[in-house]
Amino acid sequence: MNRFDGKVALVSGGARGMGEADVRGLVAEGARVVIGDVLDHEGETLAKELGDSAVFVHLDVADPGSWDAAVAKAEEVFGTVTVLVNNAGIVLFGAVDQISIEDFDRTIAVNLRGVFLGTHAVAPGMKAAGGGAIVNISSTAGLMGYAGIAPYVASKWGVRGLTKASALDLGPTIRVNSIHPGPIATPMTAGLDDTMVAAQRIPRWGRPEEVTAAVLFLAGDESSFMTGAELAVDGGAVLGSIAPVS
């Protein structure tokens, strides 16, 4: 028996990158999955490939109405959402004294407000169904600072805190945990060089499916005694320097 037989999942940012890997992993384990994304062509193509186990819905995670429509679509096609993966995210580059206010606000809207709105949208149904699991995709930028991406860092620290507060508010019925990926080879990181990973204890780029393995664990019954936890999938990026002390 597959781990997610009978479960309905909603994955934001599910059309490509880590989200696509999550969608594929959930379907492979028996879930029926709603792919939410602003990338209509990619999302529709993926849903068509996966057949009756998946459906695509246009989802702007910063818009409450868009979340309501996504949840309604899930209920119409598959039933109550019992797994939510808050994966959608953006990163905009610029020093804190140079990046625009508009770029800061947009990053917070997608990366943090989107997680809140997703949680807010699925929680009533999960409670009525007797339980559910929410997996929030934060980042190593939610565990440490990075130069040049202050809005992203702020948003991902926010996701970390929101996860813990949500776990307290929604438990024991709904479990809420966060994953903190390090450098993962996705379209969002395309063009970045290998200096990002050279100092890690495992000095390579991570693969989306390595994050998906953590998503499946936290969304499934194997982690039934975990809530409010944070799981780094980062090649040891947050461990500290491997350079010898002089």
Task: Compute CA 86 distance to the chain's CA centroid, rounded to the nearest angstrom.
Answer: 4
- Average pLDDT estimate for 152-160: 98
pLDDT at 189 over 90: no
Please tell me the number of Cα atoms within 13 Å of 44 on its side-chain side.
Answer: 5
Average pLDDT, the chain: 95
Residue 206: what pLDDT?
A: 87
Report the sign of the C-alpha dihedral through residues 20, 178, 79, 224, in that order. Answer: positive
Sorting pLDDT into bands at 50, 70 and 90, what band is 14? very high
Residue 116: what pLDDT?
A: 98
For β-strands 83-86 and 54-58, DSSP reports them as unpaired
Residue 207: what pLDDT?
A: 95
pLDDT at 43 over 80: yes
Q: Is there a catalytic annotation at residue 146?
A: no
pTM, rounded to two decimals: 0.95
The side-by-side arrangement of strands in the sheet containing 132-137 is 54-58, 32-37, 8-12, 83-86, 132-137, 174-181, 230-233
Residue 241: what pLDDT?
A: 67
Answer whether 160's CB lies under 8 Å from 212's CB. no
pLDDT tens-digit map of 71-115: 999 999 999 999 999 999 999 999 999 999 999 999 999 999 999
Residue 120: what pLDDT?
A: 98
- Average pLDDT estimate for 22-32: 98
Query: Active-site residue among 67, 104, 116, 152?
Result: 152
Check residue 149 and report its DSSP letter: B
